[in-house]
Structure 1
Amino acid sequence: MRLTNVAHLRLPFGRLWGYDVAATPTDRRLPVSFDQRRHVGAGSRGGSWMALSFRLAAPVPRERLSAAWLAVVARHGTLHSAFTPGDGGEPVLAEVEIAPGAWVEHPIGAGQAVEAALREVLDRSCDPYNTPSHRLCVVETAAGPTVVVAADHAHVDMWSMLVIARDLLAALDAITAGRTLDRTPVPAFAEHTRALRDRPLAPEPIRRRWAEILASSGDVMPRFPTPLGDAHPQPERVEVRDVFDVHSSAAFSAAAKAEGVSTLALAVAEMTEATLALADSPLRAVFPVHSRYDATWHDSVGWFITNSVLESADPAPQAAAAAVREAIALGSWPLEDLLRPWGGMPQAPGMFAISWLDLRRLPVRVDAAALDASYVGATIRTNGVMLWFILDESGLHLRCRYPDTPDAREHVGGWLDLLVARLQGRAAPQ
């Protein structure tokens, strides 16, 4: 399944509809996670959402879609909660009662792309402080609808979007077959936030290693090792590259197995080599890891992602594998406590993050090929570099977002060129 940008989504032309639920705030307060506080505390803004789109093979009455959506919202606690600004700028999270609402058509202006109209809807509806900050949309055509589900990042991660899509499709099937809808709640993300606060704090060796890696980056989170131009947020440049087809992906996996490492470790080895070659610097990056520590949370929706740091100075595959293991260990402790000496996450212009998602290994699956499903990112301004790898049955794809400046085009683009060439070289017949 590809990860694309809303501007590159290639939606069919049709009528764009959005479903407005009826939402009633309550005074039932919920705990706020470290990452939620950081994300929502940045304030109301467009472009803070994540989405997933998929196509249905035949027309579906909107009333069925909305009924299925309400069943999904009922199952997942974070989808019936909302943030409000609290005293001192601290976001407050509370439950929201959700009831049936109404479909609203969003006109598409003359000469306006459907993607642009959808972006306006999601930027407005999925604002961090909207109640609720999620939205079901559908583009209706004679051939069938394209469904888009979106939510502010404070309530979802990429795994969660698969859960939402799977549950929505299951609810549609139940409605079509005349079965009772499953509204049984699954463990809510708020329960995970409470559980995380009870976990042991990081031991001294973990704290020391965090401090060493941050010190190597100037006491901030790792940054891209070459200049990106103006440090102020710039319009983003988004590149989506197909790295491997299914055959090359199998060859790369075989090469990793021959080295005795994972595909991720071999990819980190190649990223390390590319960084050393172009920047004469170790690979250092923010490295998101999931916090679904056990099967309790596999079917839950929420921001089950925490950040770690990856440092890889040796391009040997076994050394890269050790660097990955260390990054996972560094991200396995409560982050709020770990980063307290820096006053929270010490972000700086140029922050470099690498995300790896192997959809083949997740316990939640949808038929992405049959659904023509895509992860969809928002359009933003940025001063950092974010790289996503998506590995699935069709191969390996990457999406990279960086500031659209001459320096970033040259340096990030050149790094991507070298990296893709090296990855494909590993998968080439010997």
Structure 2
Amino acid sequence: MRLNHIDSLRLPFGRLVSCESAVDVTEAGPDGGPPVSFDQHRHVGMGDRAGSWMALAFRLPYPVPQARLARAWSAVVGNHGTLQTVFVPGADGPQLRRALMGEARWQEHPVAPGQAMNEAVRQVLDAACSPYAQPSHRLCVVETADSTHLVVAADHAHVDLWSMLVLTRDLLAALELCARGQEPRLPGVPAFAEHTQELLDRPAAPVQVRRRWAEVIEAGGGVMPRFPLPLGDPSPQPERVEVRDVLDVAGLAAYSSVASEAAVSTLVLTVAVMTETTRAVAGAELRVVFPVHSRYEERWHRSVGWFITNSVLESADPDPAACAEAVREAVRLGSWPLAPIMEPYGGMPEAPGMFAVSWLDMRRLPVRIDATGLDAQYVSAAIRTSGVMLWFILDESGVHLRCRYPDTLQARASVGAWLDELVARMRARA
């Protein structure tokens, strides 16, 4: 399943409506409300803004009555605790409040003359799925005579890419139950706030982990890793998004075979190639922010929330064995609550040019949908950025990557050269 961008999302012309839940926010009780995770605090603390959401779009090849969609969507919202909470400003940063979700209601969104459908959808999501919106999730529907196009979206504070698959699968299951005339009851799952509390209750990271984090941040000049080549103006710029098809099915099979022969995973082999690329193009070792998921136990596999934490991956030696150890260390560094570790720095020390690489192998996720039959695709928002973010997506069709960077002439040259070399080296390995 591809990771698309809202600017590239193809939607038919039709009636654009969205379904939201009426919200009654409860007052904070003696417990002060559900706990806020480290990443939620960072994300929501930046305030309301356009483009803070994540979405998944798919198509049903037949019309679906609004009443059925509303019942199914209400069942999904009622099954996931994080969708029944809202953020409010607090003296020490954002706080969570529980919300009573009322009856789902529909709103029609006029499409202006000459306006593209994806632009109309973007306007809805930018307004409805911002951090402090109540609620900050929305189901958008483009209705045509013979099909129903759906966009499931939520502010990133409540979801990750894995969660978008869960929401879509649950919505499809609820729709199927409604079509049979049954009540759309879904299997109960633990709320993300429980996961946040478990992390807060864990012992502090051992001294060696804190020391290693300090070394990593010091190596970056007191901040998280940055792209090793010039990007131009360091202030946030309009983004440039590139999507490159790296390997087809046969190419991925050959690439995986090479990894197996070296007794490593495809991820580790790719880290080795990135290490070679960075040395060849920038004369530097590979240093990237490396998101790792925190769904440590199977009981979280069906839950919705931001189950991602950041780590740092450092790799100076392209030997597969060395790269495997670099990946293991990154996972270890990301396996501890980050708030206490980052406290001496006043939070995660970000800087313009931050460089992050994410790896998502759809074939290994325990949550599956018929992405091909549904024409399903992840959809990211349009933002301004000062950093470089790279996603690798692996599925049954092969490997593609998506890269977002500031749209300056220097960044186009620097990131473009790095990507060119990376793709060429990956194909050569295959």
User: TM-score, normalising length from structure 2?
Assistant: 0.98
Query: Amino acid of the residue matched to residue 14 of structure 1?
Result: G
Please name the residue that 1:282 is paired with: 285
CA distance in 2, matches of 1:59, 1:308: 44
Equivalent position of 1:327 in the other structure: 330
Q: Secondary structure at the match of 2:26?
A: strand
| Selected match of 1:74 from 60, 74, 78 | 78
Question: Structure 1 CA distance, aligned partners of 2:391 and 2:66?
Answer: 33
Q: Pick from 210, 214, 223: which aligns with 1:207?
A: 210
Task: Tell me the secondary structure at the aligned position of residue 425 of structure 1.
Answer: helix
Cα drift, residue 12 of structure 1 = 1.7
Please report how far the alpha carbon of residue 143 of structure 1 lies from its aligned counterpart in structure 2 after TM superposition. 3.0
Structure 2 letter corresponding to 1:15: R
Q: Which residue of 1 aligns with 2:5?
A: 5
Q: Equivalent of 1:375, from 349, 373, 378?
A: 378
Cα contact 2:309–2:334 (8 A) shared by 1 = yes
Work out whether 1:41 is the aligned partner of 2:45: yes
Conserved 8 A contact 1:51-1:161:
yes
* CA–CA distance in structure 2, aligned partners of residues 101 and 213 of structure 1: 48
Show CA shifts across 1:282-336 (max 9, x none): 0000000011110121110000000000000011121111111110111011111
Residue 180 of structure 1 deviates from its aligned partner by 2.5
1:153 aligned to 2:161? no
Kept in 1: contact 2:158–2:304 (CA 8 A): yes
Aligned match for 2:182, one of 175, 179, 190:
179
Mapped partners of 1:220, 1:352: distance in 2: 11
After TM superposition, give the deviation of residue 105 of structure 1 in Å: 1.2
Tell which deviates more after alignment, 178-187 or 327-336.
Answer: 178-187
Deviation string 1:181-217 (CA, Å, 9 cap, x unpaired) is: 1145310001111111111221122112211121111
Shift of 1:87: 2.0
SS at match of 2:164: helix
| 1:8 positional shift | 0.8
- Matched with 2:359 is 356
- After TM superposition, the structure 1 stretch with the greater mean CA deviation from structure 2, 351-360 or 138-147, is 138-147
> What is the alpha-carbon distance in structure 2 between the residues aligned to residue 61 and residue 274 of structure 1?
52
Structure 1 unaligned blocks of 5 or more: none
> Partner of 1:407 in structure 2?
410
The answer to whether the 8 Å contact 1:77/1:185 transfers is: no
Q: Which residue of 2 aligns with 1:21?
A: 21
C-alpha displacement of 1:421? 0.8
Mapped to 2, the partners of 1:16 and 1:417 lie a distance apart of 39
**Aligned-partner Cα distance in 2 for 1:131–1:183:** 24
Cα deviations by residue, 1:3-60 (Å, 9 ceiling, x for unpaired) = 0110011122211111132111112511111111111010111100000000112111
For residues 272 and 319 of structure 2, what CA distance do their matches in structure 1 show?
6
Whole-angstrom CA distance in 2 between matches of 1:56 and 1:421: 38
Corresponding residue of 1:227: 230
> What code does the residue aligned with 1:339 have?
M
Residues in 2 aligned to 1:388 and 1:200: alpha-carbon distance in whole angstroms: 32
Question: Segments of 4+ in structure 1 off by > 4 A?
Answer: none
Q: Distance in 1 between matches of 2:268 and 2:344?
A: 30
Q: CA deviation at 1:383?
A: 0.2
Q: How many residues align?
A: 426
1:61 to 65, 82, 85: 65
Match of 2:105?
102
Contact (CA 8 Å) 2:6, 2:380: kept in 1 or not? yes
How far apart, in 2, do the equivalents of 1:87 and 1:216 lie?
A: 34
Q: The residue matched to 1:339 in structure 2 has which SS?
A: helix
Is contact 2:170-2:186 (8 Å) kept? Answer: no
The 8 Å contact of residues 21 and 98 in structure 1, kept in 2 or not, is answered as yes
Whether the aligned pair in 1 keeps the contact of 2:174 and 2:185 (CA below 8 Å) is: yes
What's the counterpart of residue 258 of structure 1? 261
Are the equivalent residues in 2 in contact too, given 1:13–1:139 (CA < 8 A)?
Answer: yes
Please report the TM-score for the alignment, with normalisation by the length of structure 1: 0.98
Distance in 1 between residues matched to 2:186 and 2:135, nearest whole Å: 19
Stretch moving more, 95-104 or 303-312: 95-104
| Corresponding residue of 2:130 | 127
Q: Residue 321 of structure 1 aligns to which amino acid in structure 2?
A: A
Residue identity over aligned pairs, in percent, reads: 64
Provide the secondary structure at the position in 2 that maps to 1:255: helix
Asked if 2 retains the 8 angstrom alpha-carbon contact of 1:74 and 1:185, the reply is: no
Contact 1:385-1:401 within 8 A present in 2 as well: yes
List runs of 5+ in structure 2 lacking aligned partners.
Answer: none
**Post-superposition offset of 1:248:** 0.9
